[in-house]
Amino acid sequence: MVFSSTIFIFLFLPLVLLCYFLAPTKVKNYVLLLFSIIFYLFGGPKYLLLLLLIVLIDYIGAILIEKKEKRKLFLGITIALNILILVYFKYTGFFLDNINNIFKLDIPVPKIVLPIGISFYTFQAMSYVIDVYRKKVSLQKNFLTLLLYVSLFPQLVAGPIVRYETIEKELKNRKTTFEDFLYGLKRFILGLAKKVIIANQMGLLADTIFQQTNLVSPIAFLGGLAYMFQIYFDFSAYSDMAIGLGRIFGFKFLENFNFPYISKSITEFWRRWHISLSSWFRDYVYIPLGGNRKGVKRQIINLFVVWLLTGFWHGAEWNFIIWGLYYFIFLVLEKFVLNKVLEKTPTILKHIYTLIIIYFGWIIFRCDNLNSLVLFIKALFSFNITGFSMNELMIYLESYYIYFILAIVFSFPVYQKLIAKIEKLKNGKLKLFLNIFHYTSLIVIFIITIMFLAYSSYNPFIYFRF
């Protein structure tokens, strides 16, 4: 089940809202837990046991860590078990395929289905255990409460990676005000629109182009651009909907995206893109390795480890590893070589430089294997422009230009700035009129979004595969 499906919008969500808000305060957590389990069952019933096993491991591990003796040993065992489970389900095939290819062996490669959301909920569970060890959070003695934290359906299968410390108090005691409910609903509608109206259309075009075998330069360029917008609006839309749903139930999840395409450097881009993942690797890998406290050489090694793992976290393919190391190179260059140059560079040129790097990064990310990556790059730089290719380009642009315009406009904080200006208005009547217009527009956007859903069967979520 995905958020942008009619079964979720018109059946699951109304049911959980009805049951949750009618339930007494003491049982609200259990209502959420029940519906979170039902939500996960739609994606794969047999993997619910795996989710329960991971939570149980971290529940017991945290209890053992809380004791004064052998805390570090119990932490190591708990983290090792989490990683072993993740590696088995996500990377067994990758490792065995490469061993077979390198050593010319024929080891059977088992067909292991990747459980939905395993990368996200494993990282969440590990962050809880590590924070218990660091004494940043209190031990959670109620297994069901810990299970709710990990399995909470708004962020279960595709993030953001919610830290236990950010919702520890809300798990015990929270209230949903009318303002919270309204904000959450608004955020969900806007996220749904971004996903269905922009991301899906960009994805349809990107898939059409990337599947072609004889690409020419302008078509290849357009395909890369479409994917660049698809992945941003797909993933940020999911985060918007997750944050909105969380707010409806009284949880205040931290932001996961902050308009990354307005960045003026790759360093800034990674402060704005998938913030929960970047901060997770910073706090639980980079800083424990020594961060920048042990000299330049050690800092570069630490950055290498972090970006190797960041790429590998996204998938068991070489293109993801290359993608991670690609960003490692540019981040090191910016930190130690280009920092003074970028300071003196005009803002517009910094934007262009950053977008070019991001663009090629997404091409690496999108191509399934090294062969397809090489072919796509060759097509991009072949400059083989023909009359037929230009006609094909014009057909694509005529069909998708409105979605490109929407994608470009909403890559900037236009909506947020307009709302902020409305809130600052002192003219009461004008402010009321604009607010009525605003919420009426949201209703219209929701209706249009549902119409798109009704007439299209293309509705993937990219980050479900991670």
Neighbours of 141 (CB within 10 A): 11
- Inter-CA distances, 44 with 38, 39, 86, 123, 446, Å: 10, 10, 16, 20, 29
Instruction: Report cis status (omega within 30 of 0) of the bond before 160.
Output: yes
Q: Record the tokens describing residue 32, joined without a space.
A: 């959420």
Calculated CA dihedral for residues 285, 313, 184, 232, nearest 10 degrees: 120
314 catalytic per annotation: yes
Cβ atoms of residues 229 and 404 within 8 Å: yes
* Helix, strand, coil in percent for the chain, rounding step 5: 75, 0, 25
Beta-carbon contacts of 139 under 8 Å, excluding residues fewer than 6 positions away, are 62, 63, 66, 132
| Residue 461 vs residues 117, 158, 232, 259: alpha-carbon distances, Å | 12, 9, 11, 19
Lookup: tokens for 269: 């881009």
Could you give the CA distance from residue 43 to residue 117 in angstroms, rounded to a whole number? Answer: 10
Residue found by looking up tokens 């527009």 in the block:
441
Report which residue type is found at 20.
Answer: Y
Contact between 435 and 425 (Cβ < 8 Å): no
Q: Would you state the structure tokens that stand for residue 120, as one six-digit string? A: 């996200």
- Exposed, middle or buried, 87 (CB in 10 Å: 0-12/13-18/19+)? middle
Counted residue by residue, the chain has a size of 466
Per the CB < 8 A criterion, the answer to whether 198 and 407 are in contact is yes
What is the DSSP secondary-structure string of 393-408?
HHHHHHHHHHHHHHHH
User: 464 near 116, Cβ under 8 Å?
Assistant: yes
How far CA 193 is from CA of 224, 276, 412, 434, in Å, comes to 22, 23, 16, 21
Vertex 238 angle, CA 237 and 241, to 5°: 85
Task: Say how far apart CA 306 and CA 300 lie, in whole Å.
Answer: 10
What is the Cα–Cα distance from 126 to 274, expressed in whole angstroms?
Answer: 18
Active site residues: 314
